[in-house]
Structure formats: C-alpha cells, structure tokens
Amino acid sequence: MAERGSPPGWDFNPSSWSQRLPIIGLALLGFGIATYLALFQLGIITTVWEPFFGDGSRVILTSRISHILPIPDAALGALGYLADAVTGAIGGRARWRTMPWIVIIFGLAVGPLGAVSIMLVIFQPVLFDAWCTLCLASAVISVAMIGPAMDEVLASLQHIRWAQLRGRSLWHAFWGVGV
C-alpha cells in the first residue's frame, strides 16, 4: 500500500523525513570529514590521520590536483556537503510537489559531488600511486547519497511533467505555485 503523501504510482514518499534524514546525516558526516581534510590542506593542522596507507593521505591531499583551483578540493567538498545538508533539510514531506525547485537544487548538489568523488578516487592510484582513507570514506558517503536523492528528484520531475500534461504552467509547477 502506498505511503500517505506519496507521488502517484509510488509506494513510498521520497520527501518523507525517514528518507531524507539519512541523507542529511551522511552529508553532515561528509562535511566533518571534508572540513578536517581542508584544515590540513590549508595548513591549519599539520598532520592528517591515515591508518592504512602510510603517507598516502599526505600525498593525495598535497597533490597538484587537490590545489588546481584557488581553494583546496576538500574545502570545496565541505561546501558541497553543507549545500547537500541544507537543501535536504528545507521543506516538508510534500516538497516533491510543493517545492520542486529545492528538490532539483538538492539533486544538483548531491549528484555532481558524487561524480567528482568517483573521479578523485580513480585519480588516487592512477596518478599518484597512493590512497587516502578519509578521501575514500568521503567518496563512499557521496555515492551513498545519490540514489535516495535522485528518487526525490524523479518524483519532482514527474510531478512537473504531470502538471504540464494537465495544462498547468511548467513554471508554476516548478515553483510549487497553486499546488
């Protein structure tokens, strides 16, 4: 039986707190890890915890890739995780139809962060012959968030499409006007 407030044809509500709180929790955990790594990259702390790969974390975190932009990649990751947590927390259980715009922003925050994490994990052994434990943990967190976040994005996109098929303005449906 479909959960009350679920999108048509769905047997659960992707905007329910039981669906979103784990994503928000993972985002906050990722934010903590990325902030710690950024503090190392910025020279605020002088050592980084690495239980498995010897000097691997230092190699990865001081690599040319990690500093290719004006701010270290871990700082960008921390900002991304913070955006994930904030956009995941905004709105109620019906936000898939009342606030599609925030759900889509949420998906745009979660998806690319996961893709970048996968790319950075591939770079570790290929470009640097090293591994970083906390970088790997961060990547696992990023990838784990993608599926549940995309469920909600899909529900919002379906809602917008159904509203358009019923003759409503695409723009109004996107902004949740007249729901």
Structure confidence by residue, pLDDT tens digits, 97-114: 999 999 999 999 999 889
**pLDDT of 32 over the 50 cut:** yes
User: Under CATH, domain 17-175 is a member of which superfamily?
Assistant: VKOR domain (1.20.1440.130)
CB 140 within 8 A of CB 79: no
Average pLDDT of every residue of the chain: 95
Q: Other C-beta atoms within 10 Å of 170: how many?
A: 11
What is the pLDDT, as a whole number, of residue 35?
Answer: 98
Global confidence as pTM: 0.93
Residue 2 pLDDT class (50, 70, 90 cuts): low
**pLDDT of 136 over the 90 cut:** yes
CB 139 within 8 A of CB 168: no
Answer positive or negative: Cα dihedral of 102, 107, 112, 118: positive
Domain ranges of the chain: 17-175
List the single range of 22-31, 47-56, 70-79, 108-117 with lowest mean pLDDT: 108-117
Residue 123 pLDDT class (50, 70, 90 cuts): very high
**pLDDT of 13 over the 80 cut:** yes
